[in-house]
Each structure stands twice: as structure tokens, then as C-alpha cells.
Amino acid sequence: MLTSKDFRDQAIKLIKNWNNIIDEIPWQWNQINELNNESKGYFTTKRYHKINNNNNNNNNNNNNNNNNNYSNNEKFEEIKETIDDSSSTIIKSNNNNNNNNNNENNIIIFQFDIIYSKSYQVPVLYLNGFSSFDSSPLSWNEIWNNLPLSNLDKNQQSTIPYITQVEHPILGNPCYQLHPCETDNLMKLILLKEKDDEKDKKEYFKDYYLLSWLSIIGPMVNIKIPFDLLKNNAE
């Protein structure tokens, strides 16, 4: 079980450590002060991805073929040269102006918010996808086809989180949620393997729960965990 205080403390620590290693597209903590004076918040980030045009033309009937070629033909690559201003996201381009519109059409933006669930007492990941060209929301198929989660073995679907469309619990807009129903069981299994002593388990929950969870969930949705972050945790 993860408490709301542990979630906040670990999130702020994780954000600081992560941004110290990779600061091009930082995480940030959004503080929310409610009417009952209860203080809470969530952490958030964006990821910019360039769609591979060769894969862009594939349809759902070619999923098996995509799975076989995925390791050699990734659907997207992270766009590191980005600038955020108050009204829009500007994507740098090394190409000439005539190619700018085509380049922007091939770039999608993933928005990730991680929020504590009081009901499940675990972190929950919410995501959305947008076109960088006009900020229009992507369809579910466009989002799904650009998530590594869609390339996992269909026979193992029961062991991975499933995604549902929900209302964002803080912002109120439609978004997609990695359902948290199995998160607690998953984390308990990890702790059983990592720690034998009950005291060590409690300390692990208090200090490293969030990073361990994100190291499992993140790669499924295009959040690449910095190696140095995991290395420092293991030391």
C-alpha cells in the first residue's frame, strides 16, 4: 500500500533526480489545493515522437508482421529538440521551410499525468495524444498504434494493464487510463522478489515504490527510464 504522503514525497524526489539527469523534457509537480484545505498534486510530462512513415501505412491486419519487425523498425523516435512556450509547442527543424508542415504532421505529442488513487492506494497513469501540427487530439487507434504496449504478445494481454477511456480526475477532460486494479498485486510480487525482511519491504515502499512501478509501466507507453536513474537506485 502506498500512502498519499509517500506518493508526493517520492514523486518530488523522482522529479528532481530525473530532471538532473535529463532536462530536455522535464517532469513537473502540479500542486492542487482543495476547498477542504487538503493539499495534493500530481506529476506530469510530455513526450514528442516522430512517426515512421513506413509503419504509418500499416493497418490493424498487419499486427503480426509489425511485431516481427518492431525491433528493427521502431515506429517513432524521441524528438529532443523542443521548445515549450505559454501558448504552443514549437518543434525545431533542421530542414528547410518547405518541409516544416510535413515534419510537424509526422510528430505526435503524448501527455502523461500520474495521479494518486485514494480508492486503490496506488499511482495511476493517465495519457492523451495530440498532433503537433494543430494540437488536435488523436483518435484512440492513432494513440494505440504508437504505444509499445500494442506490440506485446497478445497471449500475454492478461498479465499487462489494460487501458480505458475516463474523465481526468483533476482536469475533467477525456483521457485514457492504465487501469490500476492489478497494480497493488504487481508491486507486492516485486517486493517479494526484492526484499525478504518485512522492515526492508516497508522501507522499499517508502523510498522506491514509485520508481519501481514506473520502470515497469513506463516502457509500455513510451516513457524511457534513464539508465543512470535505475543505476543510482540499485547502488
**What positions carry a catalytic annotation?**
181
Q: State the Cα–Cα distance between residues 111 and 44, nearest whole angstrom.
A: 8
Q: State the Cα–Cα distance between residues 218 and 138, nearest whole angstrom.
A: 20
Chain centroid offset of residue 54 CA = 24
Q: Which residues pair with 47 in a beta bridge?
A: 110
Q: State the Cα–Cα distance between residues 37 and 25, nearest whole angstrom.
A: 31
HEC string of the chain equals CCCHHHHHHHHHHHHHHHHHHCCCCCCEEEEEECCCCCEEEEEEEEEEEEECHHHHCCCHHHHHHHHHHCCCCCCEEECCCEEECCCCEEECCCCCHHHHHHHHHCEEEEEEEEEEECCCCEEEEEEEEEECCCCCECCHHHHHCCCHHHHCCHHHHHHCCCEEEEECCCCCCEEEEECCCCHHHHHHHHHHHHCCCHHHHHHHHHHHHHHHHHHHHHHHHCCCCCHHHHHHHHC
